[in-house]
Amino acid sequence: MVYAAISCLLTLVATDLLAQEADVQRSDSQLVTVTLLNGEATSGKFISLDGQTIEIEAENQRQKFDVQNLERIQLAGEPENPDGANLQIRLVDGSLLLAKTFTIQDRIASVAIAWPAKVSAPELKIETRNIEWIRLGLEAAMDKPWREAVAKAPAGDTLFIRKENMLEPLDGIIQDVDADAIQFKFDGELIPVKRAKVAGLAFYHAAGRKLPVAACLCRDRFGNQFIVRSFRLDQAENFALLLNCGTEILLPLDILRDFDFTVGKILYVSDMDVEAAQWLPQVESGPLFEQLSLLMTWQRDRSLDKQPLKLFRADGFREGKDQFARPEKEFAKGIAVRSGTKLLYNVPEGFKTLTGLCGIDPELRPRGHVVLKIVGDGRELYAQPISGRDAQPNKIDLDISGVSRLMIHVDYGENSDVADHLNICNLRFAR
């Protein structure tokens, strides 16, 4: 009897410990950080998420956040290498998939995503009308030739034939694809092309198709990126994603990495192409010197000294509920610009505001003095002298409705060009 009682007690204790361990693992997998559009971040345990709100538990209290006010939801979990990825597939909405295998039959692609065996997920079924291109093989030496090849608008479906380190396009009609060959109609004749000879294929899409504004960009831990129109969480804690092109996909919660809600709503200037850049030195110099110097007059997402972007605030920056104010803060996004520089951008249609913070690089304070001017379609929208002695960053908050071309001009100030390194942080357009 005694031995039986002891055995029963030990079994109960072991069961309780296993249950506690399971709870801990479950909690860890559901930790999230919610970042608002204003930069405030809150971390806690994930409760629920739908198309309208996310609910988390932080500091023993449940909190709800409106999806419309979110910049990002970051889930716990480190990035992992995809399992056996040898294909890359881009959809017409910008989604980017890493895959192991694909076949096509009757204009429907069957795709096995390069998830590890522990991820239980069926093959994706994707209509070819939703596929922009499929790259076969991911050799780094072919990255540049591939980018250049798919940047050109195709006249029809296109096969890209391997020619050493070059790609030769062949226009025709892509039909069925199996593990060995691509059935390709060329000049009216159906030709089976061996897949081993093909670096990739692109599908022709007639102009005129318009996709809705995406709700968010969803990334998993294995490098896949999904441009999402809508999403919901089912009872089994799987996310049902409706991609912006109309394809549906089901993802387990524990393989997701983040949701980025800035897609379609916010555009960081540092992510845009510069239409034109000009540097005008205070002292006249030769054209070669000016061209070389232009390479050092501005940077994306880092300082001119290629360090993290920072700003200074005399009374300190506070992060969330942090009680300690810090005099300097790092920013992941922004541009650093030297005095005498003009940068010209084309503003995408529909964006209405331009916001950001700016100040002299803290590493050079109290030196530095510039005048920041922002000009939209030839009209001055902002003009502000900025000094290394300023007690806090200068705020940019402009109405740019209807502006199509925007120039950022960092002009010389009072101290020639000494220490004139201006950091313009979180500079972004919003709808």
CA dist 111 and 136 (Å) reads 13
Q: Is residue 81 part of a domain?
A: no
The tally of domains found in the chain comes to: 3
- CATH number of the domain bearing residue 369: 2.60.120.1060
pLDDT at 81: 87
Same domain? For 94 and 230 the reply is: yes
Q: For the chain of 431 residues, list the mean pLDDT of each consecutive stretch of 10.
A: 42 37 40 86 89 89 91 87 92 95 96 88 91 94 90 89 90 96 94 95 92 90 94 81 93 89 87 88 61 69 92 75 71 92 92 95 92 97 95 95 96 81 94 83
| Among 115, 86, 105, CA closest to 200 | 86
Q: Is residue 5 part of a domain?
A: no
Same domain? For 199 and 237 the reply is: yes
CA dist 92 and 204 (Å) reads 11
Same domain? For 41 and 133 the reply is: no
Same domain? For 394 and 299 the reply is: yes
Q: Is residue 3 part of a domain?
A: no
- String of b and e for 378-411 (b: at least 16 CB within 10 Å)? eeebbeeebbbebeebbebebebeebeebbbbbb
> Which residues form the domain of 403?
267-430
| Among 343, 295, 334, CA closest to 311 | 334
pTM above 0.75, yes or no: no
Same domain? For 249 and 302 the reply is: no
